[in-house]
């Protein structure tokens, strides 16, 4: 049975703006063997791009799933950072999800995750809410595998980006995902983006916002807030980058039409 959409608010009406932040996390995280699922909440609030956003890292016990397959209006990204599980998805058979698997679920798409192994599984999740209506050509459900690039050390900037997928969604002007492999000592200068950025570290270590973040760690850069990054370690760093790009304003859309 697929659970119906929830009626409670995704974030509080007066929720605070989420600032840029880094969350170093070390395995193993605390578990809840009785309940079978232990979420560790990292942040929740609003941004300049979306009116509601939430992030947690969760530990799933062997044989457990956090909930039956369900639907919700929020869009979601899920990344497996330790162990292996199955994704149960509407219209598909069980999908194997190992370390580095990233899944995107559009709003209203039925899904859950189940641990079919004999050890705990850790995964990171980001949800957001935004625009009100489905648009033609919106990005549908996607799965991708994140892998390190051996070419990073010889790259001109010391890092290599591998695009995973991108497209407009019902809630965003564009959702763009890529995996970055950054060689030791490499990095980029401080700058600000015109969109929110969510990062999950899978291997190695990065330094940003005054903190060192290793595997399982999460970084969030808020739109228009300056940030830079470097790899302070002795091995390549591998991390997922998700860019949540806003919808064009009515004024920019009008200017675009006038230029045609």
- Domain extent for 199: 152-245
Do 157 and 137 belong together in one domain? no
Number of domains in the chain: 2
Provide the token pair at 149. Answer: 């690039």
- Name residues whose C-beta falls within 8 Å of residue 100's C-beta, 6 or more positions apart in sequence: 79, 80, 145, 146, 147, 202
Within-domain flag for 123:
yes
Q: Confirm whether 250 is domain-assigned.
A: no
What CATH number should be reported for the domain holding residue 221?
2.60.120.10
Q: Is the same domain home to 80 and 129? A: yes
Do residues 181 and 233 lie in contact, with contact meaning Cβ atoms separated by under 8 Å?
A: no
* Same structural domain, 210 and 163: yes
Q: Which of 80, 110, 145 is the last residue of a domain?
A: 145
Q: Is the domain of 30 the same as that of 139? A: yes
Q: Which residues pair with 178 in a beta bridge?
A: 163, 241
For residue 125, what pLDDT is reported? Answer: 98
Q: Where are the beta strands (DSSP E) in 24-156?
A: 37-45, 52-60, 75-82, 85-89, 95-97, 101-105, 111-114, 121-129, 142-145
pTM of the full structure: 0.92
Is 64 inside any structural domain?
yes
Q: What is the pLDDT of residue 212?
A: 98
Same domain, 169 and 94: no
Number of other CB atoms surrounding residue 145 within 10 Å: 12
Nearest to 199 by CA among 246, 153, 146: 146
Please name the residue that has the structure tokens 């407009």: 168
Question: Does 257 fall in a domain?
Answer: no
φ/ψ (deg, to 5) at 156: -55, -40
Tens digits of residue pLDDT in 13-56: 788 999 999 999 999 999 999 999 999 999 999 999 999 999 99
Listed residues 145, 171, 189: the one ending a domain:
145
What pLDDT score does 255 carry?
40
Residue 258 lies in a domain: no
**Same domain, yes or no: 116 and 225:** no
Q: Does a structural domain hold residue 10?
A: no
The yes-or-no verdict on residue 188 having pLDDT over 90 is yes
239 shares a domain with 173: yes
Residues 62 and 96 in one domain: yes
Do the beta carbons of residue 220 and residue 184 sit within 8 Å? Answer: no
Is the same domain home to 157 and 141? no
- CA atoms of 87 and 103, how far apart (whole Å): 9
Please check whether residues 177 and 221 belong to one and the same domain.
yes
**45-60 pLDDT per residue, tens:** 999 999 999 999 999 9
Domain contains 256:
no
259 domain-assigned: no
């Amino acid at each position: 049975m697929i659970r119906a959409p929830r009626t409670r608010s995704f974030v509080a009406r007066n929720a605070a703006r989420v600032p840029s932040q880094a969350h170093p996390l070390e395995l193993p995280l605390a578990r809840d063997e009785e309940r079978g699922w232990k979420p560790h909440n990292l942040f929740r609030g609003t941004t300049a791009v979306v009116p509601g956003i939430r992030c947690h890292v969760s530990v799933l016990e062997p044989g457990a799933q956090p909930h039956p397959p369900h639907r919700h209006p929020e869009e979601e990204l899920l990344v497996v950072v330790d162990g292996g599980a199955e994704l149960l998805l509407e219209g598909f058979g069980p999908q194997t999800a190992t370390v580095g698997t990233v899944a995107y679920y559009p709003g209203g798409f039925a899904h859950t995750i189940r641990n079919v192994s004999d050890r705990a599984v850790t995964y990171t999740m980001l949800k957001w809410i935004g625009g009100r209506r489905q648009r033609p050509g919106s990005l549908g459900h996607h799965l991708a595998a994140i892998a390190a690039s051996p070419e990073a050390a010889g790259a001109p900037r010391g890092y290599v980006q591998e695009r995973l997928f991108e497209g407009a969604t019902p809630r965003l002007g564009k959702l763009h995902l890529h995996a970055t492999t950054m060689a030791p000592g490499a990095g980029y200068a401080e700058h600000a983006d015109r969109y929110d950025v969510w990062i999950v570290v899978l291997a190695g270590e990065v330094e940003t916002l005054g903190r060192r973040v290793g595997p399982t760690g999460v970084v969030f850069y808020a739109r228009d807030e300056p940030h830079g990054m470097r790899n302070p370690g002795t091995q390549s760093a591998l991390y997922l980058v998700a860019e949540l790009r806003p919808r064009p304003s009515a004024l920019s859309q009008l200017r675009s039409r006038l230029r045609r």
